Structure 1
Amino acid sequence: MSYLHWSSDLDTGIDVIDKQHRRIVDYLNELNSANSSGDQAVTNHVLNELVDYTLTHFAFEEELQEKAGYPFLKAHKRVHEIFTKRIAEFQRRAAGGENVAPELLSMLKIWLVNHIKGDDADYAPSVKKALNLEGTVDKTGGWLGSALKKFFG
């Protein structure tokens, strides 16, 4: 059973971003399953995978915003920085043997939904406009393709 279900109200309308957000939701569900299994090593592994992917997503998202000329990029980066510091503390505690998964899952579920529906929804029009001008809304050409290769290989 899923901890967090993807729903269309989480779509930004930017295919590449929506796919990344869905992957983060998948990681949350994997973290929940790992925690339910009681295997702390597996839980910590999934936590580290989730964090690694999320940080890469943040960098990718920020590059898209920069290329699109999003006027509130600095504020969006700051939100990411604050979140990253909170997650680093969870990782530190988990590395020390503490089971942080229940607390982390609760925080992530709320934060992710609010971030997508608020902060990410705010930048979506700027990025969609820039992608439409380049003709790459659902393709991987131009600077979108370059950014994908840079961050995701």
Structure 2
Amino acid sequence: MMRPWILPLLLVLCGSFVAVGLVRSGSPGTAAGLLPVFLALAGVNSPLIFPRSVGAAEAQRRSAVDGRPVIYWRPGCKYCIRLRVRLGRSAHRLHWVDIWRDPAGAAAVRAANDGNETVPTVVVAGRPRTNPDVEWVRQQLSRSM
């Protein structure tokens, strides 16, 4: 499954080319400062910052048992990244479904969003909410405890 890694790999390659060009032109300090920026952007846009994804069926089963929300997401989505970062440590208590890895998850998102794969889509007790406020997600998580 290379699709989630395309953007991070492009960022690493571009950053490397820019850094090499800067070093060759006599600006190693600028290259040393710029390369970490590209690497940080690659890391933020990679699937690595998200908790381990499960399949849609497994996430729905777990949610039915513990009442925690299911979050449908995809790598590279700035709204998903924002939600993930703002949730902080509590993000690991939610059920995450990568719609690029799970066709059933993508179908669930399309069903909730008039045929569009708009993420993040958060489902609580069978009710979907697209791009919700982080405080609302925290409230739903605290209710499930």
Is TM (by shorter chain) over 0.5? no
Give TM class, smaller chain: 0.3 to 0.5
Q: Please identify which structure carries the higher helix content.
A: 1
Q: Which has the higher contact order (CA 8 A, sep 6+)?
A: 1
Q: Please identify which structure carries the higher strand content.
A: 2
TM-score of the two chains, using structure 1 as the length reference: 0.35
Q: Whose radius of gyration is greater, 1 or 2?
A: 2
